[in-house]
Chains A and B, each alone.
Chain A
Amino acid sequence: MTDKTVVIFGSGVAGLSAALELAQFDISIKIIEKSDFTGGHAIRFACKATDKCVKCGACLVEDKLDQALRNSRIKILTGSRIESISKTERYAIRLNQKPKYIDAQKCTACGVCLEKCPQDGAIIQGASRNHSPFFAINEKECRYLVDQSCSQCQEACPEKAIALDAPAGQVDCEADAIVWATGFSLFNPQNKPYGYGVFKNIVTNMELEDILRREGGVIRPSDGQSARKIAFIQCVGSRDAKLDHLWCSKICCGSALRMAELINARQPESEISFFYIDVQTFGRDFVPFYRRVQEEVRMIRAIPGDIFETPEGQLRVTYITGETYETTEEIFDCVVLSVGLQPCEENLEMARQLNLKVSDSGFLIPSEIAGEASNNGVFNAGAVGGPMGIAESIASAGETSLKVLKYIGF
């Protein structure tokens, strides 16, 4: 191995891709992940193939995570947040590590902890076979951590893998260069007039991915029944001057229409409506795909106004119809809000600390574009720089990896 180390913040598809590229050059790589689970957002995506691959790229994230874990030059630290970063010749990074409440060596993913846990959301489940342990404790919800009032999971675990008293840790590391691959956060649509967070059967596109991955089909969160009439509402939180989100999030048309096709194949009795402003082009086979999907999905070129809940937990959606210019009310079992990608809250703070440039949209700008000749060894990769899908994130990570190699003199 060479004596060079690169630290990558973020274990999403961009971070993993950059790690795999740089590891080829005998560079020691540390991936720092703030959450309990690796793989970022995309590791939770469902495969959208019917029998043919639709090129969503979700499996690639799984692949890359696999490869990264098996690569001896790459070390991944989860539950780790930055305490401080300073630079002399190299970067000195101090990380605060979340306590290892669940021992990865002992956990068998049996799920008894989740079964026994009385608090909604206190134990969260991973998405990938590479999530080890497969469960994690949410410090904000866990009753033991809040007021020591419950330790059922610890008692119930047959492998004695849970230690609610585990101590937090601190880790120091050094880096010759840093890759900032912290990705995006999702827009929270609770302030839109759709009842998100209030009506159970309104979900975001990300939550739908979770449902599809867990269940193989669309079930209504309210009662676990199969959803028949499903509505997708596009551009929620994107293309929105009021929110200062003057961008298209790029991935939602593809994600929603591919999910629609999948749902149609799995649940042929379903009726899917797609409320949109403009359909974006995605994938090399967009023209035949779009032609096909228009036969299967009802395309409505208007975004709905109000949504109310019926006594049966269904959703009454109001929208204007193109042909007759009348507003119509229609009942759906489930409404999916395609929420936009937005910058992470921490971006501004980290940008300040690391002297990174932030565009007016809040995403990070590579320093060469901002006009500086060479930065001080911190590089962006992936969606931290703007909304992008899996393929674009991988390409971005490749571009960044080349920059890193040049910077450290390879």
Chain B
Amino acid sequence: MPDSSEVIDLACLDHDKFKNWPYSQGYCITCGMCASSCPASGIDGFDPRKLIRMISLGLEDAIMESRWPWICTMCGKCENVCPMEIDIADAVRNIRALREREKVPGILHKGLTAALETGNNLRLPKEDYVFILEDVAEEIAEEPGFEGFQVPIDKSGANILTTIHNKLVNTHTEDLKHWWKIFHAAGEEWTVASENWEGTSWGYFTGDDEAMKVMTGRIYEQMQQLDVKNLLWPE
């Protein structure tokens, strides 16, 4: 966040710094619809209109150091309402990409590094992961109507491969049951992978295209190895 007592000399700024970004950010008429629609507006003084303005002015340092771009949830409501068709969420992502990776906030980069090294954000070992899945599957099998339920792991030739959000094998394991039961009742041929199962792509979130390619590539490999044609990636 710019220090409010510091006076910035416009002569020091290059307003064309971000001119080549293809998000129509130059056409902003500061109508404020984005800011009015944004669910995160007001948090620490954040609103999406500010970010677009900072890009227009070329406030490079301020934008790289500001916390504001990291408050955005990239829900896209702003883009939906913007009358000038500015791709605000995409622009936010690009701003995030400007930061040195070590300075990416909090757990985001740590988790991403973990994912690149181990295949998931938590560094959860494969046996523990499989154990948790099978544990939940057993609980389902105890429920009436779901006798014999099993969680298909690495099932070759399945119809759908789904990724898993790391919280579902950490603090919210109960939430696995909802969609598993639906698959079962629908008679769907589905599977999860035993490795590289992470659905939460912090490469996408932190504007790290390279990391995103790696993680997406791994999931694609899984699809190929397991000969699965459809991917369900609820991110």
Contacts and interface: CB of A to CB of B under 8 A. Distances in A.
Determine direct contact between A and B, CB below 8 Å.
yes
Interface of A: 193, 235, 239-243, 277-278, 301-306, 318-320, 324-327
13 contacts: A193-B37, A277-B31, A301-B32, A302-B32, A302-B36, A304-B33, A305-B33, A305-B37, A306-B36, A318-B36, A320-B35, A325-B35, A326-B42
B30 to A, nearest CB: 7
Contacts, number: 72
B29 interface: yes
Interface stretch (B6-14, B57-65, B76-84, B163-171): B76-84
A320 B41 contact: yes
Residue in B24, B30, B50, B83 with the greatest tally of chain A CB atoms within 10 Å:
B83
Contacts of B29: 239, 277-278
A241 B27 contact: yes
B234 interface: no
B89 interface: no
The 7 closest A-B pairs by CB, nearest first: A302-B32, A305-B37, A305-B36, A326-B42, A240-B83, A320-B35, A327-B41
B27 A320 contact: no
A324 B36 CA distance: 13
A280 to B, nearest CB: 13
Interface in B79-96: 81-85
A327 B83 contact: no
Contact of B42 (A243, A301, A306, A325): A325
B47 to A, nearest CB: 6
Nearest to B50: A325
A327 B85 contact: no
A302 B34 CA distance: 10
A301 B49 CA distance: 13
A29 B36 CA distance: 52
A326 B46 CA distance: 8
A114 B36 CA distance: 42
Nearest to A320: B35
B41 A277 contact: no
A242 B83 CA distance: 5
A193 B81 contact: yes
A318 B47 CA distance: 13
A278 B31 CA distance: 9
A326 B41 contact: yes
Interface of B: 24, 27, 29-33, 35-38, 41-42, 45-47, 49-50, 77, 81-85
B66 to A, nearest CB: 13
Contacts of A320: 32, 35-36, 41-42, 47, 49
Of A193, A302, A318, A324, the most chain B CB neighbours within 10 A belong to: A302
Contact of A239 (B38, B41, B46, B83): B83
Given A302-B35, A325-B47, A326-B41, 12 more contacts: A193-B37, A239-B83, A242-B85, A277-B29, A277-B31, A303-B31, A303-B36, A304-B36, A305-B37, A305-B77, A318-B37, A320-B41
B32 A303 contact: yes
Given A242-B82, A242-B85, A327 B36 contact: yes
A241 B33 contact: no
Contact of B31 (A302, A306, A318, A326): A302
Nearest to B84: A241
B81 to A, nearest CB: 6
B38 A241 contact: no
Contacts of B42: 320, 324-327
Nearest to B39: A327
Contacts of B33: 302-305
Interface centre among B24, B32, B41, B49 (most CB of A within 10 A): B32
B51 to A, nearest CB: 12
Contacts of A326: 41-42
Count chain B CB atoms within 10 A of each CB in A239, A301, A302, A320 and give the residue with the most.
A320
A274 to B, nearest CB: 13
A326 B31 CA distance: 15
A325 B49 CA distance: 10
A319 B35 CA distance: 7
A179 B84 CA distance: 35
A327 to B, nearest CB: 4
A326 B32 CA distance: 12
Of A239, A243, A301, A326, the most chain B CB neighbours within 10 A belong to A326
Nearest to B36: A305
Contacts of A319: 32, 36
Nearest to A245: B83
A249 B83 CA distance: 15
A306 B42 CA distance: 16
A286 to B, nearest CB: 21
A325 B36 CA distance: 10
A305 B83 CA distance: 12
B224 to A, nearest CB: 39
Contacts of A242: 82-85
A305 B81 contact: yes
B152 to A, nearest CB: 42
A240 B24 CA distance: 13
A241 B83 contact: yes
A306 B84 CA distance: 18
A16 B105 CA distance: 66
A235 B33 CA distance: 11
Nearest to B29: A277
Nearest to A326: B42
A241 B84 CA distance: 5
Contacts of B46: 325
Contacts of A306: 36-37
A242 B78 CA distance: 13
A243 B83 CA distance: 8
Contacts of B77: 305
